[in-house]
Amino acid sequence: MRKNGEKTQDARGAQRRGAGRPRGRVLSRQLILETGLRLIDERGEAGAGMRAIAQELGVRPSSLYNHVSGRDELIAGIRELISDRIDTSAFDAEPWHQALHDWAHAYRAAFAAHPPTITMFAVAPLEPGSRTALMYDRVCEALHGAGWPRERVLTIVVALESFILGSALDSSAADDMLDPGSRIDTPAFTAAYHERARLLAGTGERPADAAFQAGLAAMIAGLRAEFAALPRG
Amino acid sequence: MRKNGEKTQDARGAQRRGAGRPRGRVLSRQLILETGLRLIDERGEAGAGMRAIAQELGVRPSSLYNHVSGRDELIAGIRELISDRIDTSAFDAEPWHQALHDWAHAYRAAFAAHPPTITMFAVAPLEPGSRTALMYDRVCEALHGAGWPRERVLTIVVALESFILGSALDSSAADDMLDPGSRIDTPAFTAAYHERARLLAGTGERPADAAFQAGLAAMIAGLRAEFAALPRG
DNA sequence: ACCACAAACGAACTCTGTTCGTTAATCGTG
DNA sequence: CACGATTAACGAACAGAGTTCGTTTGTGGT
A12 within a domain of the structure (yes/no): no
Tell me the CA–C1' distance in angstroms for A165 and D18.
27
A156 within a domain of the structure (yes/no): yes
Total structural domains within chain B: 2
How large is the average pLDDT for residues B174-180? 89
| For A156, nearest residue in chain B (alpha carbons) | B211
Q: Which nucleotide is nearest to A46 (CA to C1')?
A: D17
Kindly determine whether residue B164 and residue A166, on different chains, have CB atoms separated by under 8 Å: yes
Kindly determine whether residue A225 and residue B225, on different chains, have CB atoms separated by under 8 Å: yes
Query: Left if phi > 0, otherwise alpha if psi is -120 to 50, otherwise beta: which for A8?
Result: beta
For residues B30-41, one letter each, b for 16 or more C-beta atoms within 10 angstroms of the residue's C-beta and e for the rest, the string is eebbebbbebbe
Pair (A138, A204) in one structural domain: yes
Structure confidence at residue A11 (pLDDT): 42
Kindly determine whether residue A189 and residue B119, on different chains, have CB atoms separated by under 8 Å: no
What residue numbers bound the domain in which B25 lies?
1-68
Q: Does B212 touch chain A (CB under 8 A)?
A: yes
Question: Could you tell me the sign of the dihedral formed by the alpha carbons of B49, B55, B58, B64, in that order?
Answer: positive
Structure confidence at residue B130 (pLDDT): 76
Please state, in angstroms and rounded to a whole number, the distance separating the CA atoms of residues A192 and A198.
Answer: 10
Give me the interface pTM, i.e. the ipTM. 0.90
Tell me the CA–C1' distance in angstroms for A79 and C6.
27
Contact B181, B233 (CB under 8 A): no
Tell me the CA–C1' distance in angstroms for A69 and C7.
14
A2 within a domain of the structure (yes/no): no
Size of interface A-B (CB pairs under 8 A): 233
pLDDT tens by residue, B93-140: 999 999 999 999 999 999 999 999 998 887 765 666 678 889 999 999
Please state, in angstroms and rounded to a whole number, the distance separating the CA atoms of residues A211 and A173.
Answer: 13
Nearest-CB residue to B195 (from A151, A173, A222): A151
Pair (B92, B64) in one structural domain: no
A74 within a domain of the structure (yes/no): no
Pair (A166, A218) in one structural domain: yes
Pair (A136, A45) in one structural domain: no
Please state, in angstroms and rounded to a whole number, the distance separating the CA atoms of residues A36 and A18.
Answer: 24
Q: Per-residue pLDDT for chain A (233 aa), expressed as one digit of tens each?
A: 333 333 343 444 446 787 778 888 889 999 999 999 999 999 999 999 999 999 999 999 999 999 999 999 999 999 999 999 999 999 999 999 999 999 999 999 999 999 999 989 877 656 666 788 899 999 999 999 999 999 999 999 999 999 999 999 999 988 988 999 888 999 999 999 999 999 999 999 999 999 999 999 999 999 999 999 999 76
Pair (B190, B221) in one structural domain: yes
Pair (A54, A120) in one structural domain: no
Q: From B37, B68, B99, give the residue that closes a domain.
A: B68
Domain holding B155: CATH number? 1.10.357.10
Pair (A224, A147) in one structural domain: yes
Q: Give pairs for A28-36: CB < 8 Å, separation 24+.
A: A28/A67, A29/A67, A29/A68, A29/A77, A31/A57, A32/A57, A32/A64, A32/A67, A32/A68, A32/A74, A33/A74, A33/A77, A33/A78, A33/A81, A34/A81, A35/A10, A36/A74, A36/A78
Please state, in angstroms and rounded to a whole number, the distance separating the CA atoms of residues A158 and B132.
Answer: 27
How large is the average pLDDT for residues B80-98? 95
**Better-scored residue on pLDDT, B91 or A22:** B91
Structure confidence at residue A13 (pLDDT): 43
Q: At B167, is the pLDDT very low, low, confident or very high (cuts 50, 70, 90)?
A: very high
Whether residue B8 is predicted with pLDDT greater than 60 in this model: the reply is: no
